[in-house]
Structure 1
């Protein structure tokens, strides 16, 4: 008999098991966070001011995620309504050294970070005597150290407190009941979390965890478990010439401390100029300076960092992108549209965007045998086009 194939356990994702995830803009005061939020959301919600703590209450905006597939589907179906995928973005007040012990707006700031699922960390790498720096001088490496240290210190405080409570209630554990064994395993995992951020000096998201451990980690809602995308705010001149003295050092710092995290250079001052132009003017200006807006790339990176994907529903009435988390099964994906679709799920008729793009029409996809009926176990792929069937 042929040997049985080893079953590979599907990795549980770090973070909230939800499709409605949010990303927060984090950084020291006066690094360009609120100005970045304004151009990203094309609003004046974030008050950009030349002094610390201009932003106190977090502002929220839904940013359309650029997607060539969505644009092509709209051109093909010519729908009455078109609804792209969105990334929910939060502008959070600036953090300062000592935030973990309540300095500045420390506790409020950290509670706002705890409420989001991922982080855009804005790092200032431009000199401007008119824009003060809370630490006195521009040094992005120091700024990154401050943020990482403060988030870790708050996590350490939180985990120590949680572990203390677990051990108090776990003193009488001695039996081999399922409940006692589960509690012992939880204590061991929380101790491992504490070792990771204190002894190993690693962010929680950079450690290796089993699926059982991830369930415990997710329950803790730790600041250092959230994915980070580093956004380096350059002067327009440096961004256009793709050169800045800090960029190689920032890249080296990320490779040493948080390898694999995305680094995207951009220029708030350039984005502020481009955002107020018409589409034609913007294209002309970008050709003239030889550089393009980084906002589409940033939005896509933030969306991907949260393990979000999208599937489409298409027709003459509406083309719509639905946001789901990677690994979502068909019934739960249908449930994003309406809970009845999940509760009374029968099946989904699924085709891939690639097949529709290649064959040109639904009829041609069907004729080629590429339209598939999928049941409850089916895991959605990014770019699927779905028609759901549910019971009465």
Structure 2
């Protein structure tokens, strides 16, 4: 599995067009009126990886399976969404389970596409969305604390530590200094994320530009870049209109020619993947043999048993060891059989930290 990314933003900023481009499907109704996306659109797309195909070829695999990324396109949020305005809080709940948030911000003028506030102002748009996420999280945190208090009153004192954590979370959410949201340990963030708070999730800005500004940018994009630097949030520049057009072209060579004429070196999906991997600290490892070659994603600094658990929970429970070789080395040697003969495959134990590009055969006992 890859990771799940929620696409959010105000109405009519290009979220659904971007979703269509990413998934390559016309699932979302990209119409020029607010709230055209009523139910969340969910799409899974394969993550392209040149190493995967080469690995499959040298091992003569019958099946090749990419890791996947899941996108969730949420209805446009408006000021007051956390209190039920627009389509309300229901749609915030649709992204509570995602791993990362792609915040699409309108950086283009188009008289044929209305703006909900009748002006193009990226900074104000960002402020609205981030405020709604924050207000929604305050309500969520208050509810969590209320439930924990009931558990403690019933004698379950093991929840005291968790209560202290969410008391701190609530205070930080109510504070005007959002920098406090970054002062949590990895374990604390895991607990917070399990409870679905949005303000603690990794975020990237997606600046949606018009076709003429995608290369050089414009004044709106420049404002968003400055804001991203100030907040230390990564930013990806995209023209959702161009990308949606490209997604409708099935002929690869024709698509390449059009991209070349537009001076586009990467598709939006490629940009999302590179930004997403960096944002989430992910690495890719592979399992490969004659039956199949498959790519998997896992957090950096994960141990071998955790990687085994990605394949099947029994693999983690009964983990014995892992036979490991780098993709580069395996391809260089010409496949698994030659790698074994050369003695290049090493055996690692439960304390081994999985590296990007590792090809792994797990040994386990159930």
Length-normalised TM-score, structure 1: 0.84
Report whether the alignment pairs 1:268 with 2:240.
yes
Counterpart position of 1:224: 199
User: Could you tell me which residue of structure 2 aligns to residue 112 of structure 1?
Assistant: 94
Q: Corresponding residue for 1:186?
A: 162
Which of the residues 285, 304, 308 maps onto 2:258? 285
- Answer yes or no: is 1:243 the counterpart of 2:217: yes
Unaligned 5+ segments in structure 2 are none
**Post-superposition offset of 1:248:** 2.1
Alignment map for 1:208-357 (pairs within 5 Å): 208-211=183-186, 213-239=188-214, 241-256=215-230, 258-259=231-232, 261-277=233-249, 278-292=251-265, 293-357=267-331
Instruction: Describe how 1:56-135 pairs up with structure 2 within 5 A.
Output: 56-135=38-117
Distance in 2, matches of 1:269 and 1:295, equals 14
Q: Residue 81 of structure 1 contacts residue 319 of structure 1 at CA under 8 Å; is this kept in 2?
A: yes
Contact 1:65/1:300 (CA < 8 Å) preserved in 2? no
1:136 CA drift (Å): 1.3
Corresponding position of 1:11 = none
Higher alpha-carbon deviation: 230-239 or 382-391: 382-391
- The answer for unaligned runs of 5 or more in structure 1 is 1-18, 174-178
- Change beyond 3 A, Cα 1:335–1:210: closer
CA displacement, residues 199-249 of structure 1 (integer Å, 9 cap, x when unaligned): 243177x4121355335423432110111121111001111x322112221
CA distance in 2, matches of 1:59, 1:329: 34
Q: How many residues align?
A: 364
Query: Given that residues 20 and 28 in structure 2 are in contact (C-alpha distance below 8 angstroms), is that contact kept between their aligned partners in structure 1?
Result: yes
The 2-side partners of 1:331 and 1:186 are apart by 27
1:10 corresponds to: none
Separation in structure 2 between the aligned mates of residue 302 and residue 37 of structure 1, nearest angstrom: 15
For residues 212 and 388 of structure 1, what CA distance do their matches in structure 2 show? 27
For the residue of structure 2 that corresponds to 1:309, the secondary structure is: strand
3-state SS of the aligned residue for 1:346? strand
Partner Cα separation in structure 1 for residue 26 and residue 302 of structure 2: 35
User: Aligned partners of 2:196, 2:127: CA distance in 1, in Å?
Assistant: 21
Structure 1's consecutive aligned runs of 4 or more residues displaced over 6 angstroms after TM superposition are: none
Task: Give, in angstroms, the shift of residue 313 of structure 1.
Answer: 1.4
Please tell me whether the aligned partners of residues 66 and 300 of structure 1 are also in contact (alpha carbons under 8 angstroms). no
Query: Is the Cα–Cα contact under 8 Å of residues 126 and 138 in structure 1 kept in the other structure?
Result: yes
| Structure 2 Cα separation of the partners of residues 203 and 72 of structure 1 | 44
Preserved contact between residue 189 and residue 200 of structure 2 (Cα < 8 Å): no
Superposed CA RMSD: 2.5
- Distance (Å, rounded) in 2 between the aligned partners of 1:268 and 1:302: 18
**What SS does the aligned partner of 1:106 have?**
coil
TM-score where L is the length of structure 2 = 0.90
Partner-residue secondary structure (3-state), 1:224: coil
Offset at 1:171? Answer: 7.1
SS for the counterpart of 2:212 is helix
For the 8 Å contact 2:8–2:101, the answer to whether it is kept is yes
SS at match of 1:388: strand
Do the aligned partners of 2:134 and 2:199 also contact (CA within 8 Å) in 1?
A: yes
2:124 corresponds to: 142
Q: Distance in 1 between matches of 2:354 and 2:10?
A: 39
